[in-house]
Each structure stands twice: as structure tokens, then as C-alpha cells.
């Protein structure tokens, strides 16, 4: 059984609201020079957001579980550590560097990124490699809208995501459980797939720090650890990047990490999962239920070898 999730929304969520209001007011004062911000306050982040046709109609996991039970090893290995410690994360100012095999490398601040494309609500399943799952109403837009800003070169085959490293604010990085900073990667066509979401919020509000603020990705057909949090650098490369989990345990965590009930983890079966908030287990769906949209990406591949 998993530990009981925290019963209240973490205080850092409210701190983020005050922080965003200050930022929005500052941008407003500069309105004669800068365009008005897309969102005047975080409570409005989801206002008018179009619900994506990719969304599932399954019951959504309550916010208190989403923010109280998660993996974010920079803050500790316990599922409740992000809710306890992530309020320390400094999320303003925040920039993301896009570099590597691109024509136009650039560094963008989070306020600019917020305005690159219309915000959508996408209700996605999240399936953890440990056997638990959630249904989360994310807010964001396709990652490709960000990747297009730099015009990837023809020899760019993969995208590497590097999480921010703030040793003074991330108590988990004092451990050697992983190599820091955290690194993940996708094939370029996976990263540019319409399902791959650049996440800026959830449940109508800004993304809480414990869930990867101020921006992360959501790749719903893969196990949750593939969805990099608190991204600071996006690098376009020719060779398959080695992710943090591949370095730590290559027999257990492959590059692709697609949800596949027929390929067991070396230490447990992946055939069943437990939805947070439910008692009974349910069958795990191939590609987490998104096979119709993404199975063609892996046509001809041996998904036991390329796990």
C-alpha cells in the first residue's frame, strides 16, 4: 500500500500565487513598452482554456493527492517530500535555455513562454513505473510550440531535458541516489508529437513547485519519470541521451519507457496499477491508453528490447 497523501494543499501553492501577482503587476506598469501579460492572475490561468479532444473523461484525481503524493527526488525520495520541501524552490526569475543542434539558440523567460501559444486543459492519465496512477487536469500547450522557436537542424534526432539545480533549495540533491542535475530525453518525433504537453499549471492554477514549477512536460503514454520537471535547459542532440535513471539502473529503466503491461520491471509486474484514491487494482493499458495516437511511432520496433 502507498502512504496516505497529505490532506491539505501545500502552502507553497499559495505563495506562488502571491509571487505571480507581483510579477503581473510589474509587467502591467511597463505596459507602455511590453505587451500586456496573457494572464493577469494565476486563478485565471485556466479561464477560457479550451479542453483538448485528447482529454480523458475519467474521474480526476483530487488536487490534495496530486500535490501531496509525487516523485521529485530533488526534494527527497519519500512521496510526501516534495509537499514538505518544494516551497524552497526559487521559481522567479526563471529562464529556459534552448540550445544544441538548432539554428536559433535562445534563452526565454517564463513570462515569454506563457504567451507562446493558447493555454489548453488536457486531462491526462499519469502512470508511475512503481504501479500507481492518477488522472490530472494539466494546463499548457504542445511542447512543439516552444521547440519551433529555435528551428532544429536536420541532424537533431533527440531532445535532452535538464532540470534546474538549486542545491541550497533542493535538499534531495545532497544524496547520491541519482546524478544531478536530473536529465531526461525523448526522440525528436516524440517531443514534437501533439500529445506531448508543455505544462504550466494544473486544476486551473499555476503549477505547484512540488509538481515541477514553473514548467515541466507531460508525456502521457510513458511512465511518469519521463516527464521532466522544473526544466532549465532543452538541448537538441544527434545521439540518444542517457537519462538519470538509465545511468542509475540501466537494467530497470530504458530510454523509451513506454507504458507496456507485457514488459515487467525486473522487480515487479507492470500488468496492474492502482489509481490513487481507489482500493482495487485495474489493468494497465498499453501506452497508458494512448496507443491509437502513438503506437505508429514505434512501428517495427521490438518493444521488449527497446523498453
Give the count of domains, the chain: 1
Q: What's residue 153's pLDDT?
A: 98
Average pLDDT of the residues of the chain = 88
More confident residue, 12 or 111: 111
Residue 227 domain flag: yes
187 and 172 in contact (C-beta within 8 Å)?
no
Q: Report the pLDDT averaged over residues 62-71.
A: 96
Q: What's residue 14's pLDDT?
A: 40
Q: What's residue 210's pLDDT?
A: 97
Residue 276 domain flag: yes
Q: Report the pLDDT averaged over residues 156-173.
A: 98
Q: What does pTM read for this prediction?
A: 0.86
More confident residue, 12 or 238: 238
Residue 128 domain flag: yes
Domain span including residue 53: 11-298
Residue 64 domain flag: yes
Instruction: Read off φ and ψ for residue 246, nearest 5 degrees.
Output: -65, -40
Residue 1 clears pLDDT 60, i.e. is over it: no
Distance between first and last Cα of the chain: 26
Residue 24 domain flag: yes
Q: CATH no. for residue 142? A: 3.90.420.10
Q: What is the pLDDT of residues 201-218, one digit of tens each?
A: 999 999 999 999 999 999
Residue 304 domain flag: no
Q: Measure the CA–CA gap between 85 and 239, rounded to whole angstroms.
A: 35
Residue 278 domain flag: yes
Residue 6 domain flag: no
Amino acid at each position: 500500500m502507498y502512504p496516505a497523501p497529505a490532506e491539505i494543499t501545500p502552502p507553497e501553492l499559495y505563495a506562488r500565487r502571491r509571487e505571480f501577482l507581483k510579477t503581473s503587476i510589474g509587467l502591467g506598469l511597463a505596459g507602455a513598452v511590453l505587451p500586456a501579460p496573457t494572464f493577469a492572475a494565476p486563478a485565471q490561468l485556466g479561464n477560457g482554456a479550451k479542453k483538448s479532444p485528447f482529454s480523458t473523461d475519467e474521474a480526476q484525481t483530487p488536487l490534495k493527492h496530486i500535490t501531496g503524493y509525487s516523485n521529485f527526488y530533488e526534494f527527497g525520495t519519500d512521496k510526501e517530500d516534495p509537499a514538505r520541501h518544494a516551497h524552497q524552490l526559487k521559481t522567479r526569475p526563471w529562464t529556459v535555455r534552448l540550445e544544441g543542434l538548432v539554428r536559433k539558440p535562445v534563452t526565454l523567460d517564463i513570462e515569454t513562454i506563457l504567451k507562446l501559444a493558447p493555454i489548453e486543459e488536457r486531462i491526462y492519465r499519469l502512470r508511475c513505473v512503481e504501479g500507481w496512477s492518477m488522472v490530472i487536469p494539466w494546463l499548457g500547450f504542445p511542447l512543439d510550440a516552444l521547440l519551433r522557436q529555435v528551428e532544429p537542424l536536420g541532424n537533431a534526432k533527440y531532445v535532452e531535458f535538464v532540470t534546474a539545480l538549486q542545491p541550497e533549495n533542493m535538499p534531495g540533491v545532497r544524496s547520491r541516489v541519482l546524478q544531478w542535475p536530473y536529465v531526461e530525453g525523448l526522440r525528436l518525433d516524440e517531443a514534437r508529437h501533439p500529445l506531448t504537453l508543455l505544462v504550466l499549471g494544473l486544476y486551473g492554477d499555476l503549477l505547484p513547485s512540488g509538481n515541477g514549477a514553473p514548467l515541466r512536460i507531460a508525456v502521457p503514454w510513458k511512465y511518469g519519470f519521463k516527464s521532466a520537471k522544473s526544466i532549465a535547459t532543452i538541448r537538441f542532440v544527434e545521439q540518444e541521451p542517457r537519462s538519470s535513471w538509465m545511468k542509475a539502473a540501466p537494467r530497470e529503466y530504458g530510454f523509451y519507457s513506454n507504458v507496456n503491461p507485457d514488459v515487467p520491471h525486473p522487480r515487479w509486474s507492470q500488468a496492474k496499477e492502482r489509481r490513487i484514491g481507489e482500493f482495487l487494482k485495474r489493468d494497465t493499458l498499453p501506452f497508458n491508453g494512448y496507443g491509437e495516437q502513438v503506437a505508429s511511432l514505434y512501428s517495427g520496433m521490438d518493444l521488449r528490447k527497446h523498453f
